[in-house]
Structure 1
Amino acid sequence: MASISVGCNWKHVAVPVQKGSKENVADNLEYLEPAIYDMSQVPVHPKNTENSDLCELKCRPPIDHISIEGDPTKSLTVQKSPSYADHPLVVGPRYQPCDFRCTWATYLGKDTSGVFVLGLNAGLLLARRLHMTRPTRAYHIQGIFGQATDNYFLDGRIVEKATFHHIKRIHMARVLSSMQAAHQKQMFEQCGVDLQSQAAYELAVQGLVRPSSGKIPVIYSIKCIHLQPPHFTLEVQCINEYEMYLKTIIHEVGMQLRSVATCTSIQCIRHGHLKLDHALLRKYWHLQQVLDNMAK
């Protein structure tokens, strides 16, 4: 079967991205002519996401069954009728979940929403290559001052409380600029050059400086885009990050401001060159919309 490569979806918090997606796409494919597309795991519940337009498309009829009838001592007739061995009511749906394969380009945790890139069937290798290139990603991370939890997230058990009325935007800007400078210094140190040297300048003009290891998180930019105590939002551009690391950023900001803070939301707004405009909302996770999205 032919297959398509990579699609960009919008992941909701606590939604298992691969669970249930095979069934949804398989159900949609049932209404298409066979051997057109071999799709994969976009996670939705099939009963709630039937596409009325796809349901109206013509399905491939069963293959013909040829039989020879009549008395062998006399004339024989050739009969052609639909084969029940190929009828969907007998053999079941023409497309099964096991026909589809899917993988992510970069994993998002259960508490993270936003842009999520998937490779479908032939796109599995492309998704892995995209992951190996280690593209930068941007996040909007929301937090709340005044409380700290045992898992650094809002749903955890509160273990500490503190005041936050002394926190001003200028204090926030100083802390964030210090964190960003520390990470920039760390990048050049990993490359073995002095930050104040000519070698560091020549390295910087070549483009984005990436860490030698794919397991070390690095922040390229961090700024506060909203502050209305106790609530605030940070915009972070980083590489090699993971969900717990993003949560600890909020915790560290709270400690640096002589208070405590807990992460309340993590939203990926950009994955490489893919932005929110490229992502499909869950209500559009149907076959035709997925095909259109991957064609862009």
Structure 2
Amino acid sequence: MRAAKAGLHGLFAVYKPPGVPWKGVRDAVETKLLSELNSLERPPPSQQVRFLPSTVEGKDGKELTLTVTQLPVLAEHPLVSGPIFTYLKVGAGHRLDKKSSGVFVLGVGRGNKLLGDVYRAHLSRTYTVRGLFGKATDDFSDTGKLIEKTTFDHITGEKLQRILAVIQGSNHKALLQYANIDLKTQEAYELAVKGLIRPMEKSPPLITAIRCLQFEPPDFQLEIHCMHETQQYLRKIVHEIGLELKSTAVCTQVRRVRDGAFTLDDALLRIQWTLRSIRNAILQSRLKVKTELRNTMAYQEIFAGSLREREARLSQTIADCEHSKGVMPWLQTQ
């Protein structure tokens, strides 16, 4: 049974349905794993040697003697010891709120440390977001309190595309600002061309790419690549798109389809939340997670090198200024 638990160290993804809190999903997985671990066949209880009194026929009749006997250790009996596994640490990655659904990454055992490494890698995530033109609510969702109704007949796909282009352009400028990397270096330039530049510290929500997947007024669907986001932020984006188009819009669905290296294909459905499936999912994800973290380390080296180069140039500039003050004192500020 210890060997069975030994395979439960790593990361895996499950599919979180809408309407369920993320804590409920995590607790359900944890409970299922503990139940299956404790249902496995136990090793037989160890034996202990005991000297038990017994009677034997002797010359003077029955005599009392001690007989060597092996008996099972009752303290190891399931009814006495209870379940072997009473605790299993299952940690949660980037959360999904109750209304959202999609890829939800969990860590078990030593995988909880990997969750921290993935968090510090600042990986991007991808969502499909559905919206509905013509309504405005207090929480930007279709289930919120209705505030306003508007017309939407004037909205065209071309107008929507223009708004999306503006959103992506403004976020790209912010991305370069918070990435704090020198684009004059060859490595940084190549990363920028591939769209791999990202901030290595906490920043406001950033959209790295946004496009329209479906436009059938009043319904529309977007694909959003982002980082440091919340699902409520994505609902607000839908609301602001409606305002920019001289109308209103509410969000009807937020679905995460990718979280770092994990996609919908990796996410286990409720019927797959079993010991065997989770252990297989952990094994299959190890290479992907390792590769993603290795790429992040390489990016961090470029990021650190860029900082060192800028600091060196700044130091040289300061030194030149100090030298100029000594050589041409008449240029100093009076």
Deviates more, 1:124-133 or 1:102-111: 102-111
Question: Contact 1:28–1:287 (CA<8 Å) still a contact in 2?
Answer: yes
Partner of 2:321: none
1:202 positional shift: 7.0
| 8 Å contact from structure 2 (residues 122, 200) kept in 1 | no
Confirm or deny that 1:278 pairs with 2:266. yes
Q: Structure 2 CA distance, aligned partners of 1:247 and 1:285? A: 30
Matched residue type, 1:28: E
SS in 1 for 2:91: strand
Identity %, equivalent residues: 32
Count of paired positions: 266
TM-score by length of 1: 0.82
Q: Does 1:131 align with 2:136?
A: no
Q: Is 1:193–1:200's contact at 8 Å kept on the other side of the alignment?
A: no
Residue 18, structure 1, aligned to residue 26, structure 2: yes
8 Å Cα contact 2:180/2:199 also seen in 1: no
C-alpha distance 29-186 of structure 1, shift in aligned 2 (>3 A): same
Shift in Å, 1:165: 1.7
Conserved? CA contact 1:211–1:218, under 8 Å? no
Q: CA deviation at 1:201?
A: 8.8
| 1:122 alignment partner, one of 86, 101, 110 | 110
Question: 1:103 is matched with which residue?
Answer: 91
AA of the residue aligned to 1:25:
L
1:1-296 aligned within 5 A = 2=6, 3-15=8-20, 16-32=24-40, 58-70=41-53, 74-96=64-86, 99-190=87-178, 199=184, 203-207=188-192, 208-211=196-199, 213-296=201-284
Deviations 1:119-172 (A, max 9, x none): 101111011101110111100011111111111112211111111122111111
Q: Secondary structure at the match of 1:253?
A: helix
Q: Which runs of 5+ in 2 are unaligned?
A: 56-62, 285-334
How far apart, CA to CA, are the structure 1 residues paired with 2:211 and 2:77? 60
Of the structure 1 ranges 228-237 and 9-18, higher mean CA displacement relative to structure 2 is found in 9-18
Q: In 1, Cα distance between the equivalents of 2:85 and 2:181?
A: 56
Question: Aligned partners of 1:229, 1:256: CA distance in 2, in Å?
Answer: 16
CA contact (8 A) 1:103 1:124 kept: yes
Higher helix share: 2
Q: 1:150 to 1:66 in 2, by over 3 A?
A: farther
Structure 2: which amino acid aligns with 1:67? R
Residue 291 of structure 1 and its aligned partner are, at CA, apart by 0.4
Coordinate RMSD, CA, aligned: 2.3
TM-score for both structures, normalised by structure 2: 0.73
Cα shift at 1:286? 0.8
CA displacement 1:81-118 (0-9 Å, x = unmatched): 3333222233322221xx21121221222222111111
Between Structure 1 and Structure 2, whose CA radius of gyration is higher?
Answer: 2
Cα distance change, pair 63–215 in 1 and its aligned pair in 2 (3 A): farther
Give structure 1 stretches of 5+ with no counterpart: 33-57
What residue number does 2:314 align with?
A: none
For 2:292, the equivalent position in structure 1 comes to none
- After superposition, the Cα gap between the structure-2 partners of 1:140 and 1:191, relative to the gap in structure 1 and judged at 3 Å, is closer
Give the structure 2 partner of residue 53 of structure 1.
Answer: none
Q: CA deviation at 1:12?
A: 1.3
